[in-house]
Structure 1
Amino acid sequence: MNNINSETIWSPFDGSPVGLMPIADEKDVEAATVASIEAFGVMKALPRFVRADILDRAAQIIKRRRAEFASTIASEAGKPLFDARGEVSRAIFNLTNAAAEARRFVGEEVPLDVDGGVHEYQVTGTDGHRIEIEKAQLQELKASRQRVGIARRFPIGPILAIAPFNFPLNLVLHKVAPAIAVGNSVVLKPAPQTPLTSALLLQVFEEAGLPQGALQVVHCSVALAEKMVRDDRFAMVTFTGSAKVGWHIKSISGRKKVALELGGNGAVIVCDDADVDLAVARCARGGLVYAGQYCIGVQRILVAREIYDVFCEKLIAKVKSFNVGDPLVEGVDVGPVINEEAAKRISAWTEEALSTGAKLLCGGTRSGTLVQPTLLSNTTPSMKVECEEVFGPVMTVNPFDNFDDALNRAASGNYGLQGGLFTNNLRRAFQSIEEWDVGGLIVNDVPIFRIDNMPFGGWKQSGLGREGTRYAMEEMTAIKHLVLNYS
């Protein structure tokens, strides 16, 4: 970038400076767009083994710089070190998996002899039911088979990737790695709170040998980001973030492809045949990982009345055992939320629920950006802590008497990203996937379960399209169909 203006990135925990990030102005954004267009011409001509080798080298470089990446994520995102290290490990897998997919990602042969078309012929059945075809017709029928269709996938062009703050490395790579794997170029607009990790990632790809301009990082204003969304020189925009912003992006994106990975308010159903200790441990982890700032985090828990009391007793004890504090200190489980504005909103939603009949089981307080892990019961579907996305360390837990009622409550509302179901009853599992409109249903675990090659995305307001390496590669390519007549 030519612009030498920089912005200080601050720690969400204590407000200390983490680093400086150059600010992209309008000229910088235009230069990045032009460079990405030029780099696409290079990228689409690269053999797949070259693209795969670049991704593999990037994985090895991040592995070598693992501690630096984890420290940067913990500092600028406020993510506890344990979880930051986990994100780096996932990023390494994401890159190596993209490299593997780049080598094997193919189109398909399309059968063209499934319809006779203009060929009319007569057949005669014998007593042995053997079909007789007139010799004169045989040549025509043979000719109809001498066509082959080949559907090939091609990269579509420069991709605009807009990333969230909560996974500043791995969710960025869910966009960047598949784009590179298929031969697209990328302009990356990182979250304003966490651009330093993206700057490190750019260094990695440069060292890995990615062609110049194939990855551009622009830390810019919302207005300039919207200008890029509207710019038809981009073939696609892929966004992860809030539902409100995501659907606004779709409304202004014009003719380009759009992929949206948006919010959720993850529900978990715990049936009377569940392993209670497993369900408690996973729900606590699922609701409090990264202070609940996780679109597939556990937010609503519905428990069979027969086990409700013992479940709540164990869950309260588990939640109280989580260490809250400085994300850079080893052993801290829950760090700050991203800023004080978010902390105030989370606390306000909790107070609003309590004022309208909810019961506080534990937590409910905050200090600055540290929100104490909170459990609420006696909540209703109309409360914000149930019907909206809290995006903080707050969970609701309520009993149910009838599985159908619990399933209906879990499936209700505007979101449908992932859900969890604890049961050993396969009939309930299959009923749930039929009736619960979620992108992923996790049986005997919580919604946060995600392996990075899974198809990932949501129904309803939770998004459009799918991430997960091969699925994102399909979104970032288009089909050309070649028909050969060799008769």
Structure 2
Amino acid sequence: MIQVKNYICGQWVAGEGEEQKIYNAITGDQIGSVSSAGLDYEAALNYGRTVGGKVLRKMTFQERGRMLKALALFLMERKNAYYQVSAWTGATKVDSWIDIEGGIGNLFANASLRRQFPDLPYYVDGTAAPLSKNGSFIGHHIMVPKQGIAIHINAFNFPIWGMLEKIAVNLMAGVPAIVKPSEFTSYLTEVMVKDIIDSKILPEGALQLVSGFGRGIIDHVTSQDVVTFTGSAFTGRKLKAHPRLIEESVPFNLEADSLNAMVLGEKAAPGTEEFDIFVKEVTKEITIKAGQKCTAVRRILVPEDFIEDVQKGVSARLASTTIGDPKVEGVRMGALINRTQVDRVRANVELLAKSQQIVYGNMDQFDVVGADKDKGAFFSPILFLNDSPFDKQDVHHVEAFGPVSTIMPYKDLDEAIELTKLGKGSLVTTIVTADDKEAREFVVEAASVNGRILVLNKDCAKESTGHGSPMPLLTHGGPGRAGGGEEMGGKRGIMHYLQRTAIQGHPTTITEITQQFQQGAKGKISSVHPFKKYYEELEVGDQLITESRLITAEDIDAFAALSGDNFYAHKRETNFTGTMFDEQVAHGYLIMSISAGLFVDSYEINPVLLNYGIDELRFTKPVYAGANIHIRFTCKEKISTDVTPNEDDPKTLIQRGVVKWLVEMLDDTDEPLVGIATILTMVKRLDQSIN
């Protein structure tokens, strides 16, 4: 027998007594117990805030991202051990792959987001707002890590994915976490957390584990903390109403099980590729994880003329799905998590059966391979038919959290949309259609009640991740019944753990705070050309004022001939009456090219490796022949990057960083700005190579 422990305040500890017995879902045998009774949650929260949080907040986004990547690589090397334990939950290899490697994939994906953040512990949000006439007073926004702890309360169905997809986000933000998985499957979470702690990749205090019931865990939260919950809508609402959350205005993210739908398009008739895709996807969603997914398809919406064909197609595929011990060759569906869950699913199937007909499956009579169905937590796939879904509405209110789904007819797309809405908020809906206009109409009307919509057809089916797979760089959550929250979502997910604060002051002061040069700030003029400085030597605000260059009509003619851009405004002989211009005007790209000639130091090899792009290029007024142009060239921002192989010598690694430069193109008038751009360069570090 195993005793699942908790990792609190830097120690592995057992809770008092036995809160929950743990069973093997396949055999029904008890494999251990778990408890978190008697834990000091106030001390645990403070430990995370003061020990783990203090270190994480000082790390930059780049450092946090590299930390996550290192952790992902470390866990991937040890994945086989997790598969072995995952089998106890009743999961097939495919089910375990979603949980284990899908969870680790979240670490990789969130680690990659470091490229969208500055090399700072905090984020600079948006652009500056001018607040004064002469530009000496501006406003901006920064987002800093909350100085609290994230408390993640997760469901039983994904003991690894549920943890990793959440901590990846808060760790990227610089916030520590306490994870409370379901006591039913916390033994699998514990195995991975032990590896994470032993790796020492995360700072001490960055991750703690509560394996049992966790009663009282949110009694000591403060306004700096964040609480997330994944599970039933009923339990989520109870937690959301906790007095402490209300008193402290604690952010609470709820991701609840929902009555998700899959819609067959009106033209996806039997015999089309889309029809076959639909039948295959529906069956997969019923059987993967034995239907124990918050994103599983519960409502199958089909044009009324195709009902019989869909019923036959799905039933045939379900009949070919072997249920049993995942270790047995050919088994495609495992067990529910335990007998308690079997009883719960059975009760909801019996409730649904009062208003609709079972057309496939029998809760008492079904075959199981390699195990005893009366001892293990096995359950037959159940397919219902609801012939009047607007009248018989239990299907839109009752969720059997297992391999259970209902086919229902619709007359036209408007009815399909209305049926989708009867779920009162879903995590995901899929429409399978080859008609892009039908897809557009459905998506626009159904989006308000969905957190995610998958449009599936033959063109994307092979590479589609499927109905039930939320992606780490996209929002995972949904309105209404689905909880009204958001998890993941790329940068948006990370920002959930950051505090946005408005800052006001002189551009020079705001430049120092943001480490991004603001227009109107004082530049740092140096006798050394900025391109001669290595990455570490450059400072935000380093500035070069170039010599002037006279723009001539001959320059404009030559550029037109070279580029082929003979727009009328660039030609001398044009009659400019009634146009926006007074005379022949210089090409904007000519001015940008001349700008490069003015600010680039090209006389000798220097630390600049390459120029790889221009952002935010704008031309603000016409430049005519006879104008004198000069450039104010300023180091705008520095972004650290990873070490990459040298193509000439793979054993040598080049260390470099990205530098953004503000290019202001100026003439000699009272309002001198004629153009503005940001260019990006790769710049060597001082110790530019390591072996």
Whether the TM-score (by the shorter chain) exceeds 0.5 is yes
Which AA in structure 1 matches 2:309? V
Change (3 A) 1:297 1:229: farther
- Residue 339 of structure 2 is matched in structure 1 by 340
Further displaced range: 215-224 or 174-183: 215-224
Further displaced range: 238-247 or 213-222: 213-222
The Cα shift of 1:19 comes to 5.0
Matches within 5 A, 1:408-423: 408-423=418-433
Deviations 1:74-109 (CA, angstroms, capped at 9, x unpaired): 21x322122202322212211111212235334334
Q: Are 1:249 and 2:239 matched, yes or no?
A: yes
SS at match of 2:344: helix
C-alpha distance in structure 1 between counterparts of 2:350 and 2:37, whole Å: 41
C-alpha distance in structure 2 between counterparts of 1:433 and 1:230, whole Å: 42
The Cα shift of 1:440 comes to 0.8
The Cα shift of 1:6 comes to 7.0
Deviations 1:23-74 (CA, angstroms, capped at 9, x unpaired): 3333443332221121212211123333223211211121111111122222
- Residue 100 of structure 2 is matched in structure 1 by 88
Further displaced range: 347-356 or 171-180: 347-356
Q: Are 1:461 and 2:461 matched, yes or no?
A: no
Change (3 A) 1:400 1:331: same
Q: Are 1:187 and 2:178 matched, yes or no?
A: yes
C-alpha distance in structure 2 between counterparts of 1:150 and 1:52, whole Å: 25
Further displaced range: 56-65 or 445-454: 445-454
- Residue 358 of structure 2 is matched in structure 1 by 360
Matches within 5 A, 1:64-463: 64-75=77-88, 77-105=89-117, 106-113=123-130, 141=133, 143-144=134-135, 146-156=136-146, 157-206=148-197, 207-225=199-217, 228=218, 231-232=221-222, 235-252=225-242, 253-254=245-246, 255-274=249-268, 275-356=274-355, 358-366=356-364, 367-368=373-374, 369-378=377-386, 380=389, 382-436=392-446, 437-444=449-456, 447-463=467-483
Question: What TM-score does the superposition give when structure 1 sets the normalisation length?
Answer: 0.87
C-alpha distance in structure 2 between counterparts of 1:50 and 1:344, whole Å: 48
C-alpha distance in structure 2 between counterparts of 1:330 and 1:86, whole Å: 19
- Whether contact under 8 Å (1:54, 1:205) holds in the other structure is no
Change (3 A) 1:281 1:27: closer
Deviations 1:231-272 (CA, angstroms, capped at 9, x unpaired): 327611011111111111111122111111111111111123
The Cα shift of 1:10 comes to 1.7
C-alpha distance in structure 2 between counterparts of 1:98 and 1:378, whole Å: 42
Question: Taking every aligned residue pair, what percent have the same amino acid on both sides?
Answer: 24
C-alpha distance in structure 2 between counterparts of 1:71 and 1:224, whole Å: 32
- Whether contact under 8 Å (1:150, 1:483) holds in the other structure is yes
Change (3 A) 1:162 1:102: farther
Change (3 A) 1:324 1:385: farther
Deviations 1:361-413 (CA, angstroms, capped at 9, x unpaired): 21031444211111111354545444222211111112222221122112113
- Residue 40 of structure 1 is matched in structure 2 by 53
SS at match of 2:475: coil
Q: How many residues are matched? A: 455
Between the two structures, name the one with larger relative contact order (CA 8 Å, sep ≥ 6): 1
- Whether contact under 8 Å (1:155, 1:182) holds in the other structure is yes
Deviations 1:325-364 (CA, angstroms, capped at 9, x unpaired): 12343432221112223222322333333344x2222103
Change (3 A) 1:463 1:353: closer
The Cα shift of 1:311 comes to 2.1
Q: Are 1:472 and 2:493 matched, yes or no?
A: yes
The Cα shift of 1:222 comes to 4.9
- Whether contact under 8 Å (2:87, 2:96) holds in the other structure is yes
SS at match of 1:479: strand
C-alpha distance in structure 2 between counterparts of 1:272 and 1:350, whole Å: 29
C-alpha distance in structure 2 between counterparts of 1:456 and 1:230, whole Å: 27
Which AA in structure 2 matches 1:68? A
- Whether contact under 8 Å (2:64, 2:111) holds in the other structure is yes
C-alpha distance in structure 2 between counterparts of 1:340 and 1:4, whole Å: 24
Which AA in structure 2 matches 1:104? Q
- Whether contact under 8 Å (2:15, 2:38) holds in the other structure is no
C-alpha distance in structure 1 between counterparts of 2:235 and 2:354, whole Å: 30
Q: Are 1:31 and 2:43 matched, yes or no?
A: yes
C-alpha distance in structure 2 between counterparts of 1:16 and 1:472, whole Å: 40
C-alpha distance in structure 1 between counterparts of 2:252 and 2:453, whole Å: 24
- Whether contact under 8 Å (1:272, 1:307) holds in the other structure is no
The Cα shift of 1:481 comes to 2.6
C-alpha distance in structure 1 between counterparts of 2:205 and 2:104, whole Å: 22
SS at match of 2:487: coil
Change (3 A) 1:295 1:463: same
C-alpha distance in structure 2 between counterparts of 1:350 and 1:483, whole Å: 59
SS at match of 1:26: coil
Matches within 5 A, 1:9-24: 9-18=22-31, 21=34, 23-24=35-36
* Structure richer in helix, relative to its length: 1
Change (3 A) 1:229 1:72: farther
Which AA in structure 2 matches 1:163? N
C-alpha distance in structure 2 between counterparts of 1:15 and 1:360, whole Å: 28
The Cα RMSD (Å) is 2.3
Change (3 A) 1:483 1:338: same
Higher alpha-carbon Rg: 2
- Whether contact under 8 Å (2:236, 2:254) holds in the other structure is yes
SS at match of 1:456: strand
Q: Structure 2 regions of 5+ residues with no counterpart?
A: 1-11, 118-122, 269-273, 365-372, 458-465, 508-519, 521-691
The Cα shift of 1:312 comes to 1.8
Deviations 1:123-177 (CA, angstroms, capped at 9, x unpaired): xxxxxxxxxxxxxxxxxx4x23x44443222111211111111111112112111
C-alpha distance in structure 1 between counterparts of 2:78 and 2:433, whole Å: 41
The Cα shift of 1:3 comes to 4.2
Change (3 A) 1:10 1:444: same
Which AA in structure 2 matches 1:413? G
SS at match of 2:503: strand
Which AA in structure 1 matches 2:341? A
C-alpha distance in structure 1 between counterparts of 2:61 and 2:485, whole Å: 24
SS at match of 1:409: helix
Q: Structure 1 regions of 5+ residues with no counterpart?
A: 117-140
- Whether contact under 8 Å (1:292, 1:391) holds in the other structure is yes
